[in-house]
Amino acid sequence: MKITIGHLFPDLLNLYGDRGNIQCMVQRLRWRGIEAEVKAFGIDDRIDFSVLDIVLLGGGSDREQMIVCNRLKEIKDSFKAYVENGGVVIAICGGYQLLGKYYETDNGRIEGLDIVDIYTVQEKGRLINNIFLQSDLFEMPIVGFENHGGRTHINNNKPLGKVIYGKGNDGKSGYEGVVYKNVIGTYLHGPLLPKNPQLCDYLLSRAIERRYGAEASKLTPLPDKEENEANKYIVDRYSDKVENFKEKIRKLI
């Protein structure tokens, strides 16, 4: 078995070590004896989505997002077809915003891929915080770090999780991220995946299932001692700042 991960525009979209997410996916596949290949695409490279199993779109500044947006126009249709066909995508912060219709900034509108029915508007003040969420996809909380000026509105889409500590999509709704088909969009940097092994394995098993079927997608469990400790560290650090913490959090590992 082999899984191919496409890293889109790492020279432009790679804030706070988003590249670490790629290393994490590769390592967790290899630990299970599954081959992993990474294809990094520059802004002018041709992208053949049919050979990709997972696509990572990382975070970026408004300036970098503006540059990327012009290229996205050209790959919009094939990217959309990949998503509709169950292709796995993990999009973070600036990359998450670009999944939507647009990101309205004080310096103009950045057109998005329009793959997910969401949109983002810049508001005064940045939402900068450590953050953790409870998602109904996982037992473990999802932990990370957010830093964004844009407020994302997800319409009727499913959020990735409920914010337990931090700001999330727009600082008001109490929700963070979006889940659409096999696409996850989130504001969480970190890098996200090393501290959230259940989320990483979710992406991997979705990708394996799509290419090799349901039976193959049952992943061998890994010990995850350090990963779980890293996750718990963030939760413990902020839990006493959360009112009714115990009722809000379902289960901590």
Closest approach, Cβ 60 to ligand GLN, in A, equals: 5
Total interface residues for ligand GLN by CB under 6 A: 12
First to last CA, the chain: 30
Annotation marks residue 93 as catalytic:
yes
Part of the chain binding ligand GLN (CB under 6 A), chosen from 61-69, 75-83, 209-217, 223-231 = 61-69
Q: Interface with ligand GLN includes 94 (CB under 6 A)? A: yes
Tokens of 28: 């967790």
Residue 110 vs 204, nearer CB to ligand GLN: 110
Q: Which of 7, 24, 93, 200 is catalytic?
A: 93
Q: Interface with ligand GLN includes 20 (CB under 6 A)? A: no
Provide the H-helix boundaries in the chain: 19-30, 62-84, 94-99, 197-212, 225-239, 245-248
- Residue 189 is which amino acid? H
Q: What does 206-241 look like in DSSP terms, one character per residue?
A: HHHHHHH-TGGG-PPP---HHHHHHHHHHHHHHHTT
Torsion sign (Cα): 66, 68, 73, 77: negative
Compute CA 151 distance to the chain's CA centroid, rounded to the nearest angstrom. Answer: 16
Judge residue 21's burial from the number of C-beta atoms within 10 Å of its C-beta, 0-12 exposed, 13-18 middle, 19 or more buried: buried
Part of the chain binding ligand GLN (CB under 6 A), chosen from 3-11, 59-67, 167-175, 212-220 = 59-67
Q: Interface with ligand GLN includes 161 (CB under 6 A)? A: no
Tokens of 33: 């004896």
Q: Interface with ligand GLN includes 177 (CB under 6 A)? A: no
Q: Interface with ligand GLN includes 60 (CB under 6 A)? A: yes
Part of the chain binding ligand GLN (CB under 6 A), chosen from 144-152, 159-167, 211-219, 241-249 = 144-152
Q: Interface with ligand GLN includes 185 (CB under 6 A)? A: no
Residue 51 vs 128, nearer CB to ligand GLN: 128
Q: Interface with ligand GLN includes 98 (CB under 6 A)? A: no
3-class SS of residue 64? helix
Closest approach, Cβ 133 to ligand GLN, in A, equals: 17
**Applying CB under 6 A, which of residues 3, 5, 8, 15 lies at the interface with ligand GLN?**
15
How does DSSP classify residue 100? S
Annotation marks residue 153 as catalytic:
no
- Are 118 and 209 spatial neighbours (Cβ–Cβ below 8 Å)? no
Residues in contact with ligand GLN by CB under 6 A are: 15, 59-62, 65, 93-94, 147-150
The residues assigned a catalytic role are 93, 189
